[in-house]
Amino acid sequence: MAIKYPNPSMNNSIKQDNHFKSQGMIFEHSLNVSNEYYRSRNVALIYKKPTPVQIVKVDYPKRSSAKIVEAYYQTPSTTDYNGIYKGKYLDYEAKETIKSFFPFKHIFPHQVEHLEKVQKLGGIAFVIIYFRTFNSVIIINIEDFSNLYHNGDRKSISYEKALEIGKEAKLSYSPPINYLSAVDELFKL
């Protein structure tokens, strides 16, 4: 697998904008905290998968701890998050945009394909997008996402279109992103 940044949108960005990175971390962190909330209430068991790292060289400075001294980020084979909710398998990719639309190039084609396969096998599969400008989190069923994605006419989904075909998740204090309520509505669970 190619050695790249885990996020395709970062591969062509020369500048490492720390502000952007830390902002991106906030969305991910909010999702993780929401998943902790769901786990603590036995509502769902959903975890973020670790970023895959190709380990090239390991030192053993002490016998008890291995120190990795050369490694590279790998392209994830699947999506960011998966787990169990209402007895079902649930799988999603989390994305963020500062624009008024979500560019398709920000998601790997094999991730879309993975979500389509999950859906075909009877799982709950979606993309969750944080439109930062609107402070709005929207989940889109992979079926609807794929229709636009494979259409070919457009290279992005506008915020208006996302609102129309998806469901907006409530943002609150606890959980920060109550996206499972939106999942209930969107997938009629």
Interface residue list for a second copy (CB under 8 A): 3-5, 11, 14, 16, 39, 42, 44-45, 47, 49-53, 55, 60, 63-74, 76-78, 82-91, 114, 117-118, 120-123
- CB nearer to a second copy: pick between 45 and 98: 45
- CB nearer to a second copy: pick between 81 and 102: 81
Closest approach of a second copy to the CB of residue 80, in Å: 12
Closest approach of a second copy to the CB of residue 17, in Å: 13
Name the nearest CA neighbour of 109 among 149, 143, 61. Answer: 149
Closest approach of a second copy to the CB of residue 128, in Å: 18
Q: Which amino acid is at 141?
A: N
Closest approach of a second copy to the CB of residue 158, in Å: 31
Closest approach of a second copy to the CB of residue 56, in Å: 9
- CB nearer to a second copy: pick between 107 and 125: 125
DSSP 98: S
- CB nearer to a second copy: pick between 44 and 137: 44
Beta-carbon contacts of 137 under 8 Å, excluding residues fewer than 6 positions away, are 27, 128, 129, 130, 131, 168, 169, 171, 177, 179
> How many CA atoms does the CB half-sphere of 22 hold within 13 Å?
3
- CB nearer to a second copy: pick between 138 and 175: 175
Are the C-beta atoms of residues 126 and 79 closer than 8 Å to each other?
no
Name the nearest CA neighbour of 78 among 69, 90, 61, 64. Answer: 90
